Amino acid sequence: MTDRFLEGRVALVTGSTSGIGLAIAQGLGAAGARVAVNGLGSAAQVGAAVDAVRLAGAPDARHFDADLSDAAAIEKMMAALAEWGPADIVVNCAGVQHTAPIAEMPTATWDKLIAINLSAAFHTMRLALPGMAARGYGRVVNIASVHGLVASVNKSPYVASKFGLVGMSKVAGLEYAGAGSRDTGGVTVNCVCPGWVETPLIEPQIAARAEAVGGDRDAGVRELLREKQPSGRMSLPAEIADTVLWLCRRQSHNLTGAAIPIDGGWTAQ
Ligand SMILES: NC(=O)c1ccc[n+]([C@@H]2O[C@H](COP(=O)([O-])OP(=O)(O)OC[C@H]3O[C@@H](n4cnc5c(N)ncnc54)[C@H](O)[C@@H]3O)[C@@H](O)[C@H]2O)c1
């Protein structure tokens, strides 16, 4: 049976209608948290995500609608969450990607990517952290990327947003390091930095590689991994969720301001 160590806690997971965020929302639900699901998608996709989180074991799960590129929408979502919650755990997972050389990157794409991947996390954190400190327990886990630690070509806004997320999380980790106690669990802020994870986000990149090597999807995956991820294996979303869960434990009270790579050795090189 799953350890229900998050019984009585409330968690917000942005970008949890798909991929890594959905797996994290399921993991937190399985550990007993009530889960606020956020993310885009059709009514059917949103409904399926909420159902999946409930099925995983969440005592309650609800969709909190907000387009995270809109700061006012985030404020509205956080106000609604303060009544349903308030949030003890905030996982900023929503993210988008666009690949192009810097000289060809549309400026509107830059603005949108920075807004969703970086500024949205600033807004959820500034609104959630004071309450966490007052209650003595809080966890912010920002899903950055290896691209918050090292760069790759053609990803200027993505890399900028993820380096920004790592830096901002260190600042918040320091600002809240003294909140709470060992007994209450304290307030910590960390980043998880995955390498390649099997989700819809990277399908266009797999398809491009597959086409370049005149092969099928498997050939595209091999090509993508061969370049940078020494393990030769992609992570599964549920495996990223396990690290997030571990960060949420009371015993992790002194683990703050860190950027944890899950990248098969990518950033060890
Ligand atoms: N898949 C990978 O290989 C990989 C590697 C490293 C980091 N990441 C990061 O993990 C996070 C999740 O990625 P994923 O692979 O699960 O992608 P995904 O495309 O499966 O999911 C992205 C989620 O973000 C949501 N989202 C996008 N724009 C939004 C907006 N404007 N407002 C609200 N929600 C929005 C989507 O609805 C979806 O729920 C991202 O931050 C991504 O940068 C992914």
Contact 66, 76 (CB under 8 A): yes
Look up the CATH number of the domain holding residue 57: 3.40.50.720
88 and 35 within one domain: yes
50 and 161 within one domain: yes
Please check whether residue 186 lies inside any domain of the structure: yes
130 and 215 within one domain: no
Q: Which domain holds residue 245?
A: 10-195+237-254
Nearest CA residue ID for atom 20, ligand 1: 19
Please check whether residue 40 lies inside any domain of the structure: yes
226 and 158 within one domain: no
Active site residues: 158
Pocket perturbation via mutation, ligand 1, pick of 109, 199, 243, 267 by most ligand atoms within 8 A of CB = 199
Ligand 1 midpoint to CA 78 (Å): 19
Is the beta carbon of 40 within 6 A of some atom in ligand 1?
Answer: yes
Please check whether residue 248 lies inside any domain of the structure: yes
Please check whether residue 1 lies inside any domain of the structure: no
pTM to 2 decimal places = 0.97
Count of domains for the chain:
2
190 and 94 within one domain: yes
205 and 140 within one domain: no
Ligand 1 midpoint to CA 134 (Å): 30
Per-residue pLDDT 10s for the chain (269 aa) are 579 999 999 999 999 999 999 999 999 999 999 999 999 999 999 999 999 999 999 999 999 999 999 999 999 999 999 999 999 999 999 999 999 999 999 999 999 999 999 999 999 999 999 999 999 999 999 999 999 999 999 999 999 999 999 999 999 999 999 999 999 999 999 999 999 999 988 999 999 999 999 989 999 999 999 989 999 999 999 999 999 999 999 999 999 999 999 999 999 99
Please check whether residue 70 lies inside any domain of the structure: yes
- The pLDDT score that the predictor gives to residue 201 is 87
Is the beta carbon of 235 within 6 A of some atom in ligand 1?
Answer: no
206 and 106 within one domain: no
